[in-house]
Each structure stands twice: as C-alpha cells, then as structure tokens.
Amino acid sequence: MSNETLKIIPLGGLGEFGMNCMAIQWKDDIVVIDAGLMFPEDDLLGVDIVVPDITYLLENREKVRGILLTHGHEDHIGGLPRILSQLNVPVYGTEFTLTLLEGKLEEHKLLDDADMIEMLPGESFSLGVFKISPIRVTHSLVDCVALAIRTPVGTIVHTGDFKIDLASPDGKPFDLHSFAELGKEGVLLLLQDSTNCDRTGYTPGELAVKPRLDEIFARTEKRLFFSCFSSSIHRIKLAMDLAHKHGRKVALIGRSMDNASEIAMDLGYINPPQGLIVHSGAIKDLPPEKVCVMISGTQGEPMSALSRAAVDNHKHARIEAGDTVLFSSRVIPGNEKAIYNVIDHLYRRKAKVIHDDGKSGLIHVSGHASQEELRLMINLLRPKFFVPVHGDYRHLTQHIEVATGTGIPGKCVLLEDGEVLELTATSAEKTGKVNSGRILIDSGSTSDVVEDIIIRDRRHLSEAGLVLAIITIDKMSGKLAGPPEIVTRGFAVNEEGMIKDARRIIGQTLEQSSSEEKRDWMLIKEKVRADLKRYIQKNTQRRPMIMPVILEI
C-alpha cells in the first residue's frame, strides 16, 4: 500500500447486515467509523453476538485517533465493549448515542476508563490530519449524524443510516442544506447506506404512521398492547401522545423498552404529561379501555415480555379476550417463525392482532432511504467516486446500479470486508486486503470468544462436556410419559446425583409451565435448558453444552 494515498478499509458491514465498522487512514492517522455487532444465524450454536475482527487496528493501535459513531443502534455501537477492552481510544458521538453507550460500558465495567466526547451537528473538530463535520440526518432513531471528513486528498462523506425526513417529530429535520453546500465544495467519495436500495420511490417520514395509529387507538375497545422496536423513540413518543389524546394511561413493560424510554425522557425527546405513565403493577386496577401497554418483543424473542405475555406467563402483562395487540414494526428476515408463533398464541387468547396487514394506512415505516432519496443525495453531493456500504453483496451490487444510473460518480467501487481502497484526488483503486472477519462471542461475555463454530464446539465439549436431556411427552396430555433420560459425555462431576436432580428439575419446569407453553416445544426446550444450566453452574461451576430433545408419543 502506498503511503501517499488515502485508504478506505471496511472491517465489517460490507457483505452483511450489521457489524458496521470502517477505518479511514492517511499515513499515521486512522479514524474508525462505527463499531457494531451482528446477531448470529441459527447455525452458530451457543454464540450470542458477532463483532468485527479488529486485528488491523490492533496492529496499528498507535495510529488510531478515535472512533466516530453515526448513531446508537446495536449494529453501529454494539461491538464497542469488546473493542474498547482491547483498544481504548476516544469515542465521539452525539448525546443520545453516548448515553446509550454508557449503559453498555458500565455493564462491562469499562465506563470509568472510557473517553467519550460529545459531538454536535454543525460543529467541526480535528482528529490527526482529518477534519470531522457531523451533519444532522434522520433515521428511525434520534440524534443521528452523517460524517463529512476532510482529508489531504479531498472530502469523504459517510451517510450512516439515514432517510430524508423533512418533518421529523423531534423538530430536527434532515439537513439538506449542509449536503448541498458540500456538493458545491466538491466531494471526493460518497459512502452511502444500501439497506433499502432495492425499494423504489421515497421512504415515508415517521409521521406517516400517525393517521392509522390514531384510528387504531380510537377503535380499540379494551386494552391496547403497543409493541415497537425499543429504539424507535419517535414511535414511542407518538404512541404516548395518542394514548393521552384517547384517555389511556401508559405502562412500560420490558427492560429494553423501559431503558430506552427513560433515556429519551431524561434527554427531553419524550415529555409525557404528568400522570400519563403508570407502574406496570397498576394495569389490573385500571379499566381496560383506559390502558395502553408499551411492550417489547416485536421479533418474537423467546423470553421477551410480549412472548411471555402471549402464553400468560408475565406478572403484569395479562392479555385477555378482546384486547388488541399492535406490532408497529417490520419482520426482520429470519425471525418469521418466532413472530408467527407469538401471533398464534395471541390468537389463542382471542386477542385482536394487528401487524403488517396490508390495510390502508401505515403502522410502520422504515428508517432507511429508498432509491429516489439515494439518487437525490448523489445529485446533491456529486461525488467523484462512490462506494455502497451496509448490506449484503446483492444490496451493494444493486446500489451501484442505482448510483450509475445518475450518471454522476466517475467511478463506483464494490468493496467487501477487508479490501483496501486507495484514493488520490483523481483515482480510486482496490489494492489488497487486510486481516478481517468476525469474532464470535458466547454468553454475552467479551472474554469468551470463539474463532469458529467448530473450534468452539470442540473446546466446549472437551472442557465441559455435553448434557443431553431426552424428554418424552404424551402428545394428548402434555405430561411426561416417563422419567427424562439424561445422557452425559465428558461431564464427570458427581454424575449420579446430578442426573437425579436434573430429572427432578425437568419435571418441575414442565409442571410449572402452562398448557399453552407445553404446546410450544421451542419455548419448553429453552426453559429446560435455562433451568438445567442454572442448576449445573451453581452446583458444579461447570458450563457443559446442554441440549434438550423432546419426543412426542
């Protein structure tokens, strides 16, 4: 690699959704844009999160000047606890983004040593040779920015996640003017969000959902359970406003919903009227038509508040016949089965379920720009060179077709993780690769890292062994058809006593499960696994792989 060129080095997010991380280097100065995580596919057994391999940054740690965060979604900040434990450099973000990050770092005992610096849209600052200018953009989260980075060879613009919303509910619209000014100055390279590049037209603004949601609030006769992404602060605020308008009290249920709402209220993004929000324990004392429950679990996560409420296993959220459950969210690919399992349980409770029903009016809008907005940005900035970011290979390819259709970028380059793009004022060429890839993290711990699922399984089995719980259940009654069979391999700590206790625990788990839960084998297996794991860790300090198997007869 030449020392007289600007290097663009994606370490994650180009070739997959999530794990966004990009290094920009000029000689001895490196800045990093975002440090996200990715949630694992089903085949990555035992893996909780996936983060980018930052070997290149560690090899050049003395050159890294800081990490710049575009916004606070997990796929942009979720990898920071691990990265900062290895590479403690200053982190720059907006107020809301840094507040979200504080909780993560505190959980990992990294907050005291972290150097977090707030950046404000419109106020530039320098990091090494780079001059950074944050620019206000709109997205499904609040306080999001794009980054204009002035370098020795020209200006780079990284859009972050964005859509063009000129009527943002927080009164902070997309800053078209600043992008137009950058276009007049001249832009060398545009790095643009590819998420919705396959969608024609424009993405509706956040307020586009208000008419349909208002209608749902007006027509709902009993309790309304309102579920959306906990990071959708605009949606939460709108739901609270509509609840107040229609005379309903609001209860917040679910840790993520509670935390995000608390941060948004502390920072002034949500200002509920006095007395609007009630404790979840008060739900049962209020008339059903006076209640709106904001509840987390839109993606059918097995232990989320909504999933538990759907099988009548939540302390406060009791869904009864005639209640309405609204999913104001999209179905993330891969989550379809889990979501429809929850919806099935809701129908069994005789609840009215509203999801993406195709009726007139919107109940959810995307936070990402569609084709016409992407073209508008390219026309405003008029970059010499173009690189699509944030997406699978097919999205990156389609995005280049969209950009090429504008006739503006002199050259479009499709980059993947680890590839190096070298820029001068007049050229852009791929010149090689650096170490990149993914790090698999187990049990949410930054120390329990596995290089590959096969290696992870071998190590797990060799160190802790395997516990296989074979449970035979009578299909008609839902009861045990006989004692569970416990098979262990490589697990030799008081096996006889442990097996006896394991059988007892499985029996207790099934006895304490409702008939509805027993019809959902995925949920039962997760409950059995969690109970056995808790018992074995407490009594043996060992962490075997636990695999429940349910046989119906």
- Sorted by sequence, the CB contacts under 8 Å of residue 66 that are 6+ apart come out as 31, 32, 89, 90, 91, 92, 117, 127
Residue 168 marked as a ligand binder = no
10 φ, ψ (degrees, to nearest 5): -75, 130
State the CB neighbour count (10 A cutoff) for residue 270.
22
Write down the catalytic residue from 314, 355, 368, 395: 368
Kindly report the three-state secondary structure assignment for every residue of 85-154. HHCCCCEEECHHHHHHHHHHHHHCCCHHHCCEEECCCCCCEEECCEEEEEEEEECCCCCEEEEEEEECCE
Residue 357 marked as a ligand binder = no
Q: Provide the total of helices (H) and of strands (E) in the chain, helices listed first.
A: 16, 27
Specify the DSSP element, H or E, that contains 344.
Answer: helix 336-348
55 φ, ψ (degrees, to nearest 5): -50, -40
Write down the catalytic residue from 193, 241, 323, 531: 193
Residue 423 near residue 191 (C-beta atoms within 8 A):
no
Residue 161 marked as a ligand binder = yes
Residue 390 marked as a ligand binder = yes
272 φ, ψ (degrees, to nearest 5): -70, 145
State the CB neighbour count (10 A cutoff) for residue 336.
12
Residue with tokens 């930054």: 446
Amino acid in the structure at residue 160 = G
Is 345 tagged catalytic?
no
Residue 442 marked as a ligand binder = yes
- 365: its two tokens: 């809008």
Residue 75 marked as a ligand binder = yes
In eight-state DSSP terms, residue 62 is G
Residue 365 marked as a ligand binder = yes
Residue 450: strand, helix, or coil: strand
Q: Assign residue 418 a region: left if phi > 0, alpha if psi is -120 to 50, beta otherwise?
A: left
Is 193 tagged catalytic?
yes
Distance CA 50, CA 406 (A): 36
Residue 363 near residue 326 (C-beta atoms within 8 A):
yes
Residue 474 marked as a ligand binder = no
In eight-state DSSP terms, residue 16 is B
Residue 11 near residue 22 (C-beta atoms within 8 A):
yes
Select from 129, 122, 153, 146 the least CA-distant residue to 380. Answer: 146
Residue 139 marked as a ligand binder = yes
422 φ, ψ (degrees, to nearest 5): -105, 130
- Detail the residues annotated as belonging to a binding site for substrate: 364-368
Question: Which residues carry a binding-site annotation?
Answer: 46, 48, 71, 73, 75-76, 139, 161, 364-368, 390, 442
Binding-site members for Zn(2+) are 71, 73, 75-76, 139, 161, 390
Q: Specify binding-site residues for Ca(2+).
A: 46, 48, 442
The residues annotated as belonging to the active site are 193, 368
